[in-house]
Structure 1
Amino acid sequence: MSSQPAGKRAGRVMLVLAWGAALLLATKFFGDWEDAQRNPNRTPESVHGSGYVEVRLASSRQGHYMADGKINGQTVTFLLDTGATSVAVPVEVAQRLGLQAGAAITINTANGRATAHRTRLQRLQLGDIVLTDVDALIAPGMGGDDVLLGMSALKQLEFTQRSGTLMLRQTTSQQPISQQPTLK
């Protein structure tokens, strides 16, 4: 037997492995690219000014404002919805976050009426904007893992939309030193 067929076999195996690795890398690259198109705000940047914190969000290709943030220290993806009265958390996400289901209420959704449960979020964070003790709903039938960031949170912020960018601003209690009260 010659060593050529064994060498050819090894060459074919290496070629198959190289193609497999290339396909895996391409799949990962395009998956990450697709995620970035859906949610361009994976790590929202914050700007601190005198008496405010500001977060700017780019819109997705579909025109939605999505951003990764945290509820009670655990990472979630927010879909900002000024048409939603409350922050709405899908049932599966609420279970993962350990949220307690409170009083049942009937809500009107795009899919009709549903029964949701009141809950409170101890801490909601988007970039360096932090809100505490936020009213929320555990909402059935939402499908997916996105938390609707509704007006129970957004009413605590100033927000402006311009040219595909949404600017959220939280007023902080910090005052410039020249405006702070002096003790006498």
Structure 2
Amino acid sequence: MSKETKTQRRLGRIMWLLAWGLGMALLTWYFQQKLEQDYNPNQQVQRLDSRTIVLEQNRQGHYLASGSINGEQVVFLLDTGATQVAIPQAVAARLGLEVEQPVQLSTAAGTVTGYRTRLKTLSLGPFTLYDLNAIIMPADSDEILLGMNALRQFELIQRGDQMTIRR
């Protein structure tokens, strides 16, 4: 076998390895995007008009939506069973929220100590709420529970796997 043939074979193998690597990277990216969309189908909130949005349920039957607190991007889990907006400690630290007086909280996991805080702004789609009470609580999640102190300012209509939120 000539030196030129060996070089061509080596180059061919390298090209196959690069093609496989690129294919695997593209498949990984595609499935990661698919998983994120299944987890939070409301990464871009669907607006019907200036006063109405529609959220889709995720596969677990929850309503998650991307939004912001004090201008920082977050993910909300709509929770009509939560009295107030509840923010996990790690997310609160990332957002730079002030920790105020402690408060005892009754959760599904039992009684825990949380801390009061105030949010300058909370935005979901076209809606922005100002100067809102919230609780910083110990949790392993990155999701912020959007409780009734925020949700009571809206009309919520659930039909099938969609929730319409109107202000």
TM superposition score normalised by structure 2: 0.96
Task: Give the length in aligned residue pairs.
Answer: 166
Asked if residue 169 in structure 1 is aligned to residue 162 in structure 2, the reply is no
Asked if residue 48 in structure 1 is aligned to residue 53 in structure 2, the reply is no
Counterpart Cα distance in 1 of 2:84 and 2:144: 10
CA drift at 1:20: 0.5
Equivalence for 1:29: 30
* SS at structure 2 position matched to 1:132: strand
2:142 aligned to which of 142, 145, 165: 145
CA drift at 1:139: 0.6
Q: Structure 2 matches for 1:31-180, cutoff 5 A?
A: 31-48=32-49, 53-140=51-138, 142-170=139-167
Could you list the runs of 4 or more consecutive aligned residues of structure 1 that deviate by over 6 angstroms after TM superposition? none
CA drift at 1:80: 0.5
Do the aligned residues in 2 keep the contact of 1:58 with 1:166 (CA within 8 Å)? yes
Q: Percent identity?
A: 43
Asked if residue 3 in structure 1 is aligned to residue 1 in structure 2, the reply is no
Do the aligned residues in 2 keep the contact of 1:54 with 1:129 (CA within 8 Å)? no
TM superposition score normalised by structure 1: 0.87
CA drift at 1:157: 1.1
Counterpart Cα distance in 2 of 1:103 and 1:5: 74
* SS at structure 1 position matched to 2:65: strand
Counterpart Cα distance in 2 of 1:23 and 1:66: 30
Unaligned runs of 5+ in 1: 171-184
